[in-house]
Structure 1
């Protein structure tokens, strides 16, 4: 088996997808008001004073907390179908198609959310998706917390290693664009940094 690992934000897409998803889900006015409210958190993250997983949970809790998982999944499916195509990087999507045409196993590995990446990846023919997932209450309401660690940096490598259990690829190619992809790229025979 030949394996191709793809990051999403900045690699398969031209930019971050989380903020556009939150805007899509909440509406522009609520999203903009939320950005003002979350400015201290976003500023602390940008300055390096707050780790990305903690900042992300606070932002997700603010924008999605209290909604049912079904509502967020429905918004994610619509976002995947209508908005994600406009964010894609054509050159990396072409690389994905080349791997698929050769019969390589293609896995999406991203810190972005399953609620929109899973439907998008299924439509694109990925073999697996390793990404961040939302925690819900017993009543099925989103809390903002992530199930397990944010799929970023060392967590990407851990999830890939877990997924590989019993699989022995002959060759691994990995595509990434940021420091959050370093550990994944280090696992590859052919690392491609965009």
Structure 2
């Protein structure tokens, strides 16, 4: 990858990074819920959700259904202030120990070259906002969590930003920028099947740290 900013005759580079397992080496949602609930309550939540989680592992229920059940169980009624405190703990305690060195280096190279960077993740806005700020990523596309009167409803406010929804949301981002997909040189980074819809559309794609071709 070139580290020089695009010239006027080139398309601008858009670097799109998945978060869990790509920019990080571990899952962030479980880490966030653990920090927010504490070890004992998080453990009980996992016990209560074990039938649904097992059904998801066995592919008997879709990702969004298992996720919705977990969020309802763990975050319903949580105040916005407490969620923000938990997000800051995730950024200061968890994130530095779980950044993927290779992906972190790629992100910094894109930033130093003046490329536009987007964090595109199925994880939650209540903590990814703090993560994006910490990593100096100006654009965030993720799953929203519904709030009412300063408290979490336990429901998602957007479709789960996973799989094909990632590409739909990125297309909406292009429209918001007033620049179609074709006007960008798209670089995409991912690590799971849920990232493939975006990787297939990329000019340059990386899967688990290696060049990927559809």
- Bin the TM-score by the shorter chain: over 0.9
- CA drift of 1:82 comes to 2.0
Find the counterpart in structure 2 of residue 141 from structure 1. Answer: 151
- CA drift of 1:32 comes to 0.7
Q: TM-score, normalised by structure 1?
A: 0.95
Report the 3-state secondary structure (helix = DSSP H, G, I; strand = E; otherwise coil) of the residue aligned with 1:103: coil
- CA drift of 1:76 comes to 1.1
Gaps of 5+ in 1: none
Find the counterpart in structure 2 of residue 189 from structure 1. Answer: 203
Matches within 5 A, 1:114-153: 114-137=125-148, 139-153=149-163
- CA drift of 1:170 comes to 3.3
Gaps of 5+ in 2: 1-11, 209-214
Report the 3-state secondary structure (helix = DSSP H, G, I; strand = E; otherwise coil) of the residue aligned with 1:15: coil
Regions of 4+ moved over 3 Å: none
Contact 2:77–2:151 (CA under 8 A) maintained in structure 1: yes
Find the counterpart in structure 1 of residue 8 from structure 2. Answer: none
> Quick check: which has more Rg, 1 or 2?
2
Q: Number of matched residues?
A: 193
Contact 1:5–1:108 (CA under 8 A) maintained in structure 2: yes
Report the 3-state secondary structure (helix = DSSP H, G, I; strand = E; otherwise coil) of the residue aligned with 1:162: helix
Find the counterpart in structure 1 of residue 83 from structure 2. Answer: 72
Question: Considering only aligned residues, what root-mean-square deviation do their CA atoms show, in Å?
Answer: 1.1
Contact 2:145–2:158 (CA under 8 A) maintained in structure 1: no
